Amino acid sequence: MAVKGAVLGDILGSQYEFNRPKKLDWKNVPLINTTAMGFTDDTVMMMAIKKAIIEEADLVDTMVEVGRKYPHCGYGCRFFVWINGKVHRPYNSWGNGSAMRVAFVGEYYDDYNEMQEMAKKTAEVSHNHPEGIKGAVVTATCIWMAKHGKSKQEIYDYVAQEYPKSKYEYSIEYSLDEIRPRYKWNESCQGSVPAAIRCFYESTDYESFIRNIYSLKCDSDTFGAIAGGVAEEFFHGFGNVDAEGVLESYLDDYLLAILKR
C-alpha cells in the first residue's frame, strides 16, 4: 500500500523536520527515535482524502472534518485558516501540502487519466496555483507508475520532463551529491517534489530511501510523505523496516482505522 509507505515516511521523517543536527550521521543513525517522532498534518490530510474517496464523500467537507480533530499537527498558517475558517476557498498556494497528501490517489485508481484528474482535484481545493497542482499530479503519477511496474528510469524521465533543470533549482536531474551542499529547507512543491523523488531514485530499498532524505536539510517528513508511497510500491514493501510496528505505535486509533480500510 503506497499510503502506508507515505505515512511511514511522514513519521520517520518528522524527527528531522526542524531539529536536524548539523553533522547528522545519516548513513548510520537509528531510523526510530521514540522521543522525536510522530505523525504530522501530512498523515492527517492523507487519511482525510482516503476517507473521502472510499466513502464517496465531499472532499472539502471530509478534509475539514478530519483536519479539525488534529488542530496542532503542524498545518501551515494559511492551511490552518482554511481548515478552521467558515469559508474554504483555494488560495493559490504552491506549497508542498498538495503533494504530501495525495498518496492514496496514486494507489487507488487504475485508470491513468482518472488518477491524474483526482490528484488535480485534491490539490485545487486549496493549492490551486499551477505548481501546487503539478506537485500533486506528479506525486500521484509516480506512485501509479511504480505500482504498475514502470522502471526507475521511466519514473525519472517523467519527473525530469515535469521539472527540467533548465527551470527548476532542485530538478531530479541533479544528483543528491550535487544538491546536498546547496539545498535549503523549502516548503514549495517545486522545491520538494523533484528532490524527494530523487531520494527514491538513488535508493536501493525503503530504508536507503529514508536515509537519502536524512542526508538533506529538508522538510523531511513531507519528503517522506511525497516519495514514501513510490518507494513502497516500487520495492514491494519495507524490507527490514518495522513498518507495521511504527504505524501501530504512532498512529491513534482513528487514523489507524482509516489506514487499514
**Residues tagged in the binding site annotation for Mg(2+):** 40-42, 219, 221-222
- Of 71, 77, 82, 75, nearest to 101 by C-alpha is 75
Cβ atoms 47, 226 nearer than 8 A: no
Give the whole-angstrom CA distance, residue 22 versus residue 239.
Answer: 28
Tell me the binding residues: 40-42, 219, 221-222
Instruction: Fill in the DSSP letter of residue 95.
Output: B
- How far CA 239 is from CA of 34, 103, 204, 234, in Å, comes to 20, 20, 10, 12
Give the whole-angstrom CA distance, residue 158 versus residue 150.
Answer: 11
- Of 244, 245, 234, 242, nearest to 205 by C-alpha is 234
